[in-house]
């Protein structure tokens, strides 16, 4: 049986000037603009035919605060497809509280890099299917990496970043994906700092490098400009799911027409 490819909308949530949760969209994790209300957007995507839904609190880690669990709970009340929540998750208790608020999975980046044992602890306590390890990776063209690929005639590696792409770690993203899988991560969520918000397509060299390195399902994120980009990341990189934000948020494409296009290209999707 061929597994269907998943189409996943994502909202990036921050706190607005009034202290309320709001969805923002930007480019390269910067220049964020207000996009909408997270609960209303979640409700719309639940009704649109999305396979899953991702809620990312994009400044929780950078600001050292907890994930906005009240908003997560309100979103969970409107979403009846798998819900992944990320941002500010640093401890086993954070995982527990986020799942208790209604998430089906947690996405962890900075917290797992700071404490890799958190992956083992989370998988043992709640099951690997609940633990998604997120990589915010950027290209580096120097000799400090471990796994190299050719990009436009140059050799590069991919560095994990933290705090929403604000800080480098020196950690090779491909090697970190392999370690996360060994420790019990049930899924790898790959974001490209370079491609984020550009709509120029997914970073195929990055996605393929991670997909080739692990057997755990990989969610490809950042840079999607349309259904053709999803086709490319499924066919050329081997991703298991395609995540997108702005093309869905602003009505450039719907979930339904994206799936119809992929189906017409012979990509297995749930219609």
Cite the active site residues: 12, 136
Q: Which has the closest alpha carbon to 140: 126, 125, 151, 131?
A: 151
The helix/strand/coil state of 126 is helix
Tokens in use for 212?
Answer: 């080739």
Angstrom distance (rounded) from CA 91 to CA 75: 22
Angstrom distance (rounded) from CA 246 to CA 241: 17
Rg, the chain, Cα only: 17
Are residues 83 and 105 in contact, defined by beta-carbon separation less than 8 angstroms?
yes
Angstrom distance (rounded) from CA 72 to CA 93: 16
Angstrom distance (rounded) from CA 40 to CA 47: 11
Q: Which has the closest alpha carbon to 214: 91, 105, 132?
A: 132
Q: Would you put residue 173 in left (φ > 0), alpha (ψ -120 to 50) or beta? A: alpha
Q: Which has the closest alpha carbon to 49: 208, 266, 259, 267?
A: 259
Torsions phi, psi of 36, nearest 5?
165, -175
């Amino acid at each position: 049986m061929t597994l269907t490819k998943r189409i996943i909308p994502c909202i990036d949530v921050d706190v607005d000037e009034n202290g309320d949760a709001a969805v923002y969209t930007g480019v390269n994790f910067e220049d964020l603009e207000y996009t909408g209300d997270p609960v209303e957007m979640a409700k719309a995507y639940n009704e649109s035919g999305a396979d899953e839904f991702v809620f990312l609190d994009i400044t929780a880690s950078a600001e050292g605060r907890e994930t906005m669990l009240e908003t997560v709970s309100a979103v969970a009340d409107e979403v009846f497809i798998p819900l992944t929540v990320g941002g500010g998750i640093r401890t086993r208790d954070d995982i527990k509280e986020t799942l208790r608020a209604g998430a089906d999975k947690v996405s962890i980046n900075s917290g797992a890099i700071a404490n890799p044992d958190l992956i083992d602890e989370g998988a043992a306590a709640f099951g690997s299917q609940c633990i998604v390890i997120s990589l915010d990776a950027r290209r580096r063209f120097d000799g400090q990496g471990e796994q190299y690929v050719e990009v436009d005639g140059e050799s590069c590696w991919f560095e994990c970043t933290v705090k929403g792409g604000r800080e480098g770690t020196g950690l090779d993203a491909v090697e970190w994906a392999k370690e996360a899988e060994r420790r019990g991560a049930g899924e790898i969520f790959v974001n490209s700092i370079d491609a984020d918000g550009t709509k120029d397509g997914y970073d195929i060299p990055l996605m393929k490098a991670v997909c080739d390195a692990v057997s755990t399902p990989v969610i490809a994120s950042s840079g999607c400009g349309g259904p053709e980009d999803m086709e490319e990341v499924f066919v050329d990189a081997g991703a298991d799911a395609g995540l997108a934000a702005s093309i869905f948020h602003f009505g450039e494409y719907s979930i339904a027409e994206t799936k119809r296009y992929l189906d017409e290209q012979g990509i297995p999707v749930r219609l």
